[in-house]
Structure formats: structure tokens, C-alpha cells
Amino acid sequence: MNAKWTRLWLSIRFVDLPLTAFDSSESKIEIDQQPTVVIEKKRVIFANTHAVEAGVQWGMDITTTQLLTPCKVVERNIEQEEKVLHHLSEELYQFSPYISLYRSTKTPASGLQLEISSCLNLFGGLKSFCDRVGQF
């Protein structure tokens, strides 16, 4: 009998990577407590909850954004985002030897894909595996 081998992949998406990856001397608490947007080419590519509640939307120009709310504006740092993704992938190698990085060229979407079918038994099944990965 010829069994067909299928691989199982776990996709991890980082929706707030443009904000959490930027290198700043300010603490994360300060950023979480005030409206903050990340811009690229003078357009909003990410807005935290406070900015969204004030009416800020993805793709909005920075002038309109600042008229809506006195928000903190951060320029996107793609190099820093890449560093964060690479660091996370190195940390996740303890769970899977097959990891691929995903970066969209049209949106700030980023993520990692881990091949997990070959290591589920090692970690006690899917739920246990996801719980351990989720602790990162």
C-alpha cells in the first residue's frame, strides 16, 4: 500500500509587526497608551487601537490622520522588521527545522510558516505543540 505523505504547516501572522518592530527609546507602555501610526510614503500602513478609535484608517494620508488625532507618527523600518522576523525564526527552530518567512510587497503583512507534521509526536500532539509555540 502506497501512503501519500502530506506536510502540515503552521502559519503565524504578525499583524502589528510594523509598530512592534521599530527601534525606539520609548517604552511599549507609552506607545500602547497613545494613538500611534506607522507610515510609509506618507500613508498609514498600521494604526494602533487608539488611533483606529479616533477614525484613522489604513492608507490614509498623514495630514488627514493628524487632523483626526494628535497621534505619534513612526516611519516604517523594514530592516528592523526583517531583523525581528529572523530572530523569531531562529528561536522557533527549536520546534521545527523547516521555517519560511513571508513578507507581502503590497501590505505590511508578515509572518512565518513552520512545517510541523514531522515534529508533532515529539511535542505531544498539535494542541501541546501550539501551546508551546504560543508562549513566544
Q: Using an 8 Å Cβ cutoff, are 52 and 66 in contact?
A: no
Comparing C-alpha atoms, which of 41, 43, 35 is closest to residue 59? 43
* Residue 33 or residue 112, greater confidence: 112
Q: Are the C-beta atoms of residues 74 and 19 closer than 8 Å to each other?
A: yes
Q: Which three cell numbers stand for residue 86?
A: 529572523
Q: Which residue has the cell 527549536?
A: 94
Is the pLDDT reported for residue 24 higher than 80?
no
pLDDT class of 1 with cuts at 50, 70, 90: very low
68 exposed, middle or buried (CB, 10 Å; 0-12, 13-18, 19+)?
middle
Of 60, 85, 83, nearest to 71 (Cα)? 60
Task: Name the pLDDT band for 122 (thresholds 50, 70, 90).
Answer: confident
55 vs 86: CA distance, rounded Å = 33
Cβ atoms of 42 and 106 closer than 8 Å: no
The second-level CATH assignment, the architecture, of 24-75 is 3-Layer(aba) Sandwich (3.40)
- Give the Cα separation of 99 and 78 in Å (integer): 20
pLDDT of residue 115 exceeding 80: yes
Tens digits of residue pLDDT in 48-74: 999 999 999 999 999 999 999 899 999
